[in-house]
Amino acid sequence: MPNIHYGFPYVGGAACAGGVGAPLNTPPMPNPVTLTWAQLMNAQLRLGVYPAGWILDEIAWRIYSFCIACAPVGVGMVPTVPAVVPAVGMAPGAAVGGGFANLPPSPVAVGVDSTEKGQLGYHLGTAIGGALIEYLAGAGGGSLLYPFHLTRAQANGGVFVLGAQQPDIVIFDVHPATLFVSNFVVWENKGHAAGPAGAAPLLAALLQAQSLANMTNWPGNPHIGYAGGGLVGGAGMAPNAYLASMVDSFFGNYRVQVHDPPSKRPPVPPMSPQSGDNFFAGYYSPYLEAVQSGPNQQSRQYGGRHFKTVGLAKDVRFGLDQEVVAALRGHGGAGRVSSRIAQALAGGYKYSASEYLYIHPTGISVELPQGWLPNRNPLRSSGRAMREVPFD
């Protein structure tokens, strides 16, 4: 992963040209990133804390919170995936020129108290930030981005040097075939803001992100033999960049502050085969638990690839690549899990672009029925609505 790229008006360590309170689309940005409901829900459900035994409960909480956080207006963006994926560094944007709020809160969000609004805003913000960070981070060359909630990374053996505060998310750039971890990014989200007064919480969020100084152990599940040992020389690995983000409910946009220090450390060697197995086991374990224990289990096929899926709240169908499932449940020596996952993910996912289906490159799928909106489609006991969704 190169240093974070960003195409919006931003100079060095300073704020955006219009000030941190200004929308990113002033001046207008070309080729704004467009997001779909399925893509947003996919990002939301990859970013949980997910302690064992609570996976399905937390997933349901995140689905409902995301839906309650916003009114069904297509997220203010064209409800299709981009015809052409934006270039690395292209600023995410919404309706050019600002104006009417593109992400208005739902009637429930309007009526609750400030603490509850903060929770709802966080869920909407993590979904949008989780989807858009991948455009900014720009992994490539066979690398994929693996996001962990920081608490989950720590629970899986990651050791970080932290200040007084704890940021939200750490995102690792990992090449599955070589087990090379080139960099990682720290991200703190503050949910909804409103207008130029949002400068204060965004700057505070950037400082909170910067409270993570470095990492001395990769995340890896300690219950399956992770021996620790840290990085070379025990010196640790500093984040590639620090990001703070929020959804602006006045301009209807997404704002980012970035601290992107130049990298001066020597190259870090790849994870060992056993550490690679543990990293992937730690990343995929909640999703594996969800598809093995969730309701309405179905095998689905997208673009010729088979997924193990479950039907969840609000007609969300969540799935994991069956080859990844098999790799995680298989047996063998060190490196067997990571090598099988590398094989499964090597070709990417070639499926018909749809507003209602999104497959993350790490093999996690979200499928919605046609016409899905967050204020409709209550939980059903069968998956029949899913049959309306075209897939290959």
Cα(226)–Cα(138) distance, integer angstroms: 29
Dihedral Cα 297, 301, 307, 308, nearest 10 deg: 10
Average confidence (pLDDT) over 267-291: 90
Using alpha carbons, select from 77, 40, 105 the residue that is nearest to residue 253: 77
How many CA atoms, within 13 angstroms, populate the side-chain half-sphere of residue 47?
A: 28
Phi/psi region, residue 52 (left: phi>0; alpha: psi -120 to 50; beta: rest), is beta
How many CA atoms, within 13 angstroms, populate the side-chain half-sphere of residue 120?
A: 23
Residue 97: what pLDDT?
34
What does the DSSP assignment read for 159-201?
Answer: EEEE-SS--SEEEEEEETTTTEEEEEEEEEEEEEE-SGGGHHH
- 56's tokens: 């399905």
Q: How many residues does the chain have?
A: 392
Residues 6+ apart with CB under 8 A from 75: 35, 37, 40, 102, 103, 128
Share of the chain above pLDDT 70, in %: 67
Average confidence (pLDDT) over 51-60: 95
How many CA atoms, within 13 angstroms, populate the side-chain half-sphere of residue 392?
A: 10
Residue 78: what pLDDT?
32
pLDDT tens-digit map of 60-74? 999 998 888 876 644
- The sign of the dihedral angle between the CA atoms of 59, 56, 218, 345 is negative
Give residue 190's identity as a one-letter amino acid code. Answer: K
In the predicted model, is pLDDT for residue 39 greater than 50? yes
Average confidence (pLDDT) over 85-101: 36
What does the DSSP assignment read for 252-307?
Answer: TEEEEEEE-PPP-SPPPPPPPHHHHHHHHHHHHHHHHHHHHHSSS-EEEEETTEEE
Residue 359: what pLDDT?
95
pLDDT tens-digit map of 206-258? 899 999 998 888 888 665 544 444 565 556 788 888 888 877 654 555 677 77
CA distances from 80 to 85, 127, 132, 133 (A): 12, 16, 15, 18
Using alpha carbons, select from 20, 25, 190, 191 the residue that is nearest to residue 103: 191
Beta-ladder partners of 300: 307
Task: Average the pLDDT over each of 2-6, 77-81, 307-311 and give the range with the smallest value.
Answer: 77-81
pLDDT tens-digit map of 361-388? 999 999 999 888 887 755 443 344 444 3
pLDDT tens-digit map of 185-194? 899 988 766 6
Spatial contact of 120 and 32, defined as CB atoms under 8 Å apart: no
Residues 6+ apart with CB under 8 A from 247: 103, 121, 124, 125, 128, 191, 192, 193, 253, 254, 255
Cα(152)–Cα(126) distance, integer angstroms: 15
Using alpha carbons, select from 40, 31, 36 the residue that is nearest to residue 96: 31
Q: What's the whole-number average pLDDT of the chain?
A: 75
